[in-house]
Structure 1
Amino acid sequence: MLLLIPLAALSAGPQQPQHAHEHEVGERLGTVRFPVSCGPAARRDFERAVALLHSFQYEESERAFAAVAQAEPSCAMAYWGIAMSLYHPVWAAANPSAAPAPEELARGRSAVERAKAAGTPRAREREYIAAIEAFYRDSERLDHRARALAYARAMEQVARRHPKDPEAAIFYAVALLGTPRPTDKTYATQRQAAEILNRVLPGTRDHPGVAHYLIHSFDYPELARLALPAARAYANIAPASPHALHMPSHIFTRLAMWQESIRSNLASAAAARRLMARTHPGATHYDELHAMDYLVYAYLQGVEDRKAEGVVAEMRAVRSIDQATFAAAYAFAATPARFVLERRRWSDAAALGVWPADFPWQKFPYAEAIVHFARVLGAARSGDSTAARKSLDRLEQIRAGLSEAGDRYWADQVEVERRAAAAWVARSEGKDREAVDLLRSSAELDDSMDKHPVTPGAVLPARELLGDLFLDLGRAAEALKEYESTLARSPGRFNSLAGAARAAERAGDLGKARGYYAQLVAQCGSADAAHPDLDRAKALLR
Structure 2
Amino acid sequence: MKAIVLAGILLGSTAAMAQDIPPEQHKHPMSEAAASNGAGVPADMHAGHSHDDEVRPRVPTLLPGYGNGGFAVTTGLPQAQAFFSNGMELGAAFAHKAAIDAMAEAVRLDPSCAMCLWGQALTSGPTINYGKGAADRVPLLKLVQKAQALAAKAGTAKAGTAKARTAKERDLIGALMTRYRPGVVHQRDVDYAAAMRKVAARYPQDNEIAVLAADALMVSAFDEGADDFNHKPIEEAQGLLETVLKRAPEHTPAIHFYIHATEINRQPELAEPFADKLAGLAPHASHLVHMPSHTYYWVGRYQDAADTNWRAVQIGMANAKRLGLPEPKGVWDLPYHSHNVIYGLGGALMAGDARTALNLARPLVAHSTERENAEPFSQLLAASGYFALARFDDPAAVLALPEPKLPYLQAARHYARGEALLWLGDMAGVKAEMAAIPEKVASGTIDRDHKGPEAMLGILRAVLEGKMAMREKRYADAAKAFRRGAEIEETPEFMEFSDPPAFWYPVRRDLAAALLAQGDAAGARAQAEQSLRLRMRDPVAEDVLRGAEAVLARR
Fold match by TM threshold 0.5: yes
Residue among 488, 491, 495 paired with 1:445: 491
Q: Write the letter of the residue equivalent to 1:173.
A: A
Q: Which residue of 2 aligns with 1:197?
A: 241
Q: Write the letter of the residue equivalent to 1:99.
A: G
**1:495 deviation in Å?**
4.0
Q: Which residue of 1 aligns with 2:116?
A: 78
**1:54 deviation in Å?**
1.0
Within 5 A, what are the aligned runs for 1:10-409?
Answer: 19=58, 21-22=60-61, 27=65, 29-37=67-75, 39-91=77-129, 98-100=130-132, 102=133, 105-118=134-147, 119-121=149-151, 122-138=166-182, 142=184, 145-180=186-221, 188-219=232-263, 222-277=266-321, 281-282=325-326, 283-284=330-331, 285-316=334-365, 329=378, 333-340=382-389, 342=391, 372=411, 375=414, 382-384=430-432, 387-388=435-436, 390=438, 392-394=439-441, 396-397=442-443, 400-403=445-448
- Write the distance in 2 (CA, Å) between the matches of 1:169 and 1:476: 51
Call closer, same or farther: CA 1:347–1:413 in 2, change over 3 Å. Answer: farther
- Write the distance in 2 (CA, Å) between the matches of 1:221 and 1:496: 24
- How many positions carry a matched residue from both structures? 471
- Write the distance in 1 (CA, Å) between the matches of 2:377 and 2:312: 15
3-state SS, counterpart of residue 150 of structure 2: coil
- Write the distance in 2 (CA, Å) between the matches of 1:481 and 1:175: 42
User: C-alpha deviations, 1:393-449, integer Å up to 9, x for none?
Assistant: 11x549x4424xxxxxx5654465355346458878999598577446425524995
Q: Which residue of 2 aligns with 1:533?
A: none
Q: Which residue of 2 aligns with 1:417?
A: 456
Within 5 A, what are the aligned runs for 1:3-14?
Answer: 4=14, 6=16, 8-9=32-33
- Write the distance in 2 (CA, Å) between the matches of 1:463 and 1:333: 23
3-state SS, counterpart of residue 431 of structure 2: coil
Q: Which residue of 1 aligns with 2:26?
A: none
**1:30 deviation in Å?**
2.2
Call closer, same or farther: CA 1:292–1:441 in 2, change over 3 Å. Answer: closer
In structure 1, runs of 5+ residues without a counterpart are 92-97, 362-367, 404-409, 513-542
Call closer, same or farther: CA 1:379–1:231 in 2, change over 3 Å. Answer: same
- Write the distance in 2 (CA, Å) between the matches of 1:137 and 1:436: 52
**1:348 deviation in Å?**
8.3
- Write the distance in 1 (CA, Å) between the matches of 2:375 and 2:241: 27
User: C-alpha deviations, 1:83-107, integer Å up to 9, x for none?
Assistant: 333444322xxxxxx333x5xx534
Q: Write the letter of the residue equivalent to 1:254.
A: W
Percent identity for Structure 1 against Structure 2: 20
Does the 8 Å contact 1:170/1:209 carry over to 2?
Answer: yes
Does the 8 Å contact 2:66/2:93 carry over to 1?
Answer: no
- Write the distance in 1 (CA, Å) between the matches of 2:212 and 2:554: 51
Which structure is higher in RCO with an 8 Å CA cutoff and minimum separation 6?
2
- Write the distance in 2 (CA, Å) between the matches of 1:451 and 1:5: 23
Does the 8 Å contact 1:225/1:255 carry over to 2?
Answer: yes
Q: Which residue of 2 aligns with 1:532?
A: none
- Write the distance in 1 (CA, Å) between the matches of 2:376 and 2:269: 24
Within 5 A, what are the aligned runs for 1:418-437?
Answer: 418-421=457-460, 423=462, 435=481
3-state SS, counterpart of residue 301 of structure 1: helix
**1:476 deviation in Å?**
5.4
Call closer, same or farther: CA 1:116–1:311 in 2, change over 3 Å. Answer: same
1:487 aligns with 2:536: no
Does the 8 Å contact 1:349/1:379 carry over to 2?
Answer: no
User: C-alpha deviations, 1:288-326, integer Å up to 9, x for none?
Assistant: 33222233333333433133212222435669xxxx999
Does the 8 Å contact 1:31/1:208 carry over to 2?
Answer: yes
- Write the distance in 2 (CA, Å) between the matches of 1:215 and 1:20: 34
3-state SS, counterpart of residue 537 of structure 2: coil
Cα-Cα RMSD: 4.6
1:478 aligns with 2:543: no
Q: Write the letter of the residue equivalent to 1:295.
A: G
Does the 8 Å contact 2:117/2:146 carry over to 1?
Answer: no
User: C-alpha deviations, 1:9-64, integer Å up to 9, x for none?
Assistant: 46799xx997474466x645225224245633211101101011111111221222
3-state SS, counterpart of residue 383 of structure 1: helix
Does the 8 Å contact 1:476/1:504 carry over to 2?
Answer: yes
- Write the distance in 1 (CA, Å) between the matches of 2:374 and 2:247: 34
Does the 8 Å contact 1:253/1:456 carry over to 2?
Answer: no
- Write the distance in 2 (CA, Å) between the matches of 1:311 and 1:18: 29
Q: TM-score, normalised by structure 1?
A: 0.70
3-state SS, counterpart of residue 52 of structure 1: helix
